[in-house]
Chain A
Amino acid sequence: MARFDPYENNGGTCVAVAGADYCVVAADTRLSVGYSILSRDHSKIAQLADKCVLASSGFQGDIKALQKALAAKELIYEHNNNKKMSCPAMAQLLSNTLYYKRFFPYYTFNVLAGLDTQGKGCVFTYDAVGSYERTGYSAQGTGSALMMPVLDNQLKSLVLSYCQLRTFNTKLLLVQDAVTPLSESDAVDLVKDVFASATERDIYTGDRLEIVVINSSGTHRECIELRKD
């Protein structure tokens, strides 16, 4: 008996890296279904607020619906509170929106990123039903398993926790609040390299890489070519 399957994975990978006063968000622009390519030029990054950007991979139908729903809720917030939504506020809103559909989820793997109320870079990473965490960097999508180990190796900082040292004599690796000490250009360079590597081994990642950098002076967009095979 053939049943209607409401979901489809359109592939692709999203990455975000938080810095001291900037945030780098990147996603490839390939849209695929099965073994075919639907588009080589489809953006996965949506600007939700002034300093807040959502990068999503997964089922494109649900991604579009989610972006629409969030934009509407953001507008309502502006009308009610007479101010634009901050990134941490948007993070909570996204989590609630996703959990609202706990029993028929949005098939979306999201990374929300931007600058927080103090102007520091922030990255929030989600699962499909709204569990979220603020981190220093994250990758989601088909190529995420290829990228995260490299990002962990380059960006995770060794923070000696004093109490931990006394009891277990181990070093504590903190991802929380681990805004990278890298400069903006170094972070962009790392993201480009990590995407080029993931493209080599993941068939759903490729074509073009869209990089959005958010800092105090605004939002800057850049594109570089990736392998098209």
Chain B
Amino acid sequence: MTGSMDLPAKGGFSFDLCRRNNMLEKNGLKLPGFRKTGTTIVGLVFQDGVVLGADTRATEGPIVADKNCEKIHFMAPNIYCCGAGTAADTEAVTDMVSSQLQLHRYATGRESRVVTALTLLKSHLFRYQGHVSAALVLGGVDCTGPHLHTVYPHGSTDTLPFATMGSGSLAAMSVFESKYKEGLTREEGIQLVSDAICAGIFNDLGSGSNVDVCVITKGKTEYLRNHQLPNPRTYASSKGYSFTKGQTEVLSTKITPLKQKVEVTEGGDAMEE
């Protein structure tokens, strides 16, 4: 006897709300803007594994919303993912795939593989036809060796020895194309990644503040948060600012009591059990 069950939609974009959104837009509703990271993210493969790098500026149009955000996201103990594009999208998609990988690790009893994360990410992004604006640099080391991939918002991927994404990708790629070679040592890899991120930080207005680095090798991952801080504040007034009472003009005052003041009197019966 087959019962009928309301199964969730198996695939494809859900168009349920499109008509309502169009109607709202026509009636003058402004859709909320997205916060983009306007970023420089990079990754490269060196002799013992992969090195990932990212800047730490999050922008809302021309304004810096966060001066020190984290763009290198955890996927698995041996896999990390840098994210560029809409901050909410990169955060959500990496968190989601990270949970799926953990469940998979429990089911299989094995260390996660980078291609697994890659497939989960690309199929999700393709399903959303580019509306999930996440451009990622995925890197890690598993039983099959070190891997580095780029994932684009529409769901395509590349497998590369070195990669850059974000608004600062051209500045960073110019550094990689000049100085990258196969078989870099750990120190050389970290230095090259830092140089590439700095190129993005100083030459791209969408990137800035500090350099985050993540080094992944077989059996060990090092997350070097704020590996470099090349942008200290240049001037701070020694006088300081005082905000005395009366400095802010009070135009009018109205006090509305919300609740009656309750008086508590001692004595009376003790509460029963």
Distance from A3 Cβ to chain B, minimum over Cβ atoms (Å): 23
Known pairs A35-B167, A229-B208; A193 contacts B237 (CB<8 A): yes
Whether B237 pairs with A35 at a CB distance below 8 angstroms is no
CA of A227 to CA of B201, assembled, Å = 11
Say whether B62 contacts A202, CB under 8 Å: yes
Closest to A168 in B: B251
Interface 9-residue window, one of B178-186, B217-225, B227-235: B227-235
B237 and A189 contact, CB distance less than 8 A = yes
The reply to whether A36 and B249 contact each other, CB–CB distance below 8 Å, is: no
Q: How far is the CB of B3 from chain A (nearest CB, A)?
A: 56
Cβ-defined partner of B234 (8 Å) among A35, A37, A226 = A226
A167-183 interface bits toward B, Cβ cutoff 8 Å, 1 = contact, 0 = none:
00011010000000000
A29 at interface, CB cutoff 8 A: no
In-complex Cβ contact of A192 among B62, B201, B237 (8 A): B237
- The closest CB in chain B to the CB of A33 belongs to B205
Q: Smallest CB–CB gap between B199 and chain A, Å?
A: 11
A203 and B202 in contact, given A35-B167, A189-B239, A227-B231 (Cβ under 8 angstroms): no
Interface residues of A: mostly helix, strand, loop or mixed?
Answer: mixed
B112 within 8 A of A: no
**Assembled-state Cα–Cα distance A199/B57 (Å):** 13
Instruction: Evaluate contact between B204 and A35: CB separation under 8 angstroms.
Output: yes
- Give the residues in chain B near A153, CB-CB below 8 Å: 241, 243, 247
B231 touches A203 (CB 8 A): no
Q: How far is the CA of A142 from the CA of B231 in the complex (A)?
A: 21
Say yes or no: is B31 at the interface (Cβ < 8 Å to chain A): no
Within 8 A of B (CB), among A182-201: 186, 189-190, 192-193, 195-196, 199-201
Check if A224 is an interface residue, CB within 8 A of chain B: yes
CA–CA, A201 and B62, complex, Å: 8
B150 at the interface (CB under 8 A from A): no
Chain B residues, Cβ within 8 Å of A189 = 237-239
A154 contacts B231, CB within 8 Å?
no
Verify if A228 is at the interface (C-beta below 8 Å from B). yes
Question: Could you tell me if B38 and A193 are in contact, using CB atoms closer than 8 angstroms?
Answer: no
A171 and B249 alpha carbons, distance in the complex (Å):
8
**Closest partner residue, chain A, to B206 (CB atom):** A35
Closest to A189 in B: B237
B258 within 8 A of A: no
Interface residues on B, range: 20 to 34
User: Are A170 and B251 closer than 8 Å at their CB atoms?
Assistant: yes
Residues of B within 8 A of A226 (CB): 234-235
Chain A residue total in the interface (Cβ 8 A):
31
Q: Does B175 contact A (CB under 8 A)?
A: no
The CA-CA distance from A195 to B237 in the complex, in Å, is 11
Instruction: Tell me if A203 and B249 are in contact (CB < 8 A).
Output: no
Across the interface, B233 reaches (CB within 8 A) one of A32, A202, A227, namely A227
Residues of A close to B247: CB separation below 8 A: 153
Which of B205, B209, B239 has the largest number of chain A CB atoms within 10 A? B205
Q: Are B236 and A203 in touch, CB under 8 angstroms?
A: no
CA distance A19 to B235 in the complex (A): 22
Asked if A196 and B205 make an inter-chain contact with CB atoms under 8 angstroms apart, the answer reads no
Contacts of A199 in B (CB 8 A): 234
Listed residue (B62, B203, B231, B236) with the most chain A CB atoms within 10 angstroms of its CB: B62
- Answer whether residue B271 sits at the interface, using C-beta atoms and an 8 A cutoff: no
Chain A residue at smallest Cβ distance from B168? A35
5 CB < 8 A contacts A-B:
A35-B167, A154-B241, A199-B234, A200-B233, A224-B235
B residues engaging A (CB < 8 A)? 38, 57, 59, 62-64, 67, 167, 201-209, 230-231, 233-239, 241, 243, 247, 249, 251
Interface set of A (CB-CB < 8 Å, partner B): 32, 34-37, 142, 153-154, 158, 170-171, 173, 186, 189-190, 192-193, 195-196, 199-204, 224-229
Known contacts A202-B62, A203-B64, A203-B208, then 5 further A-B pairs from the complex at CB < 8 Å, ordered by chain A residue: A37-B205, A195-B235, A227-B233, A229-B208, A229-B209
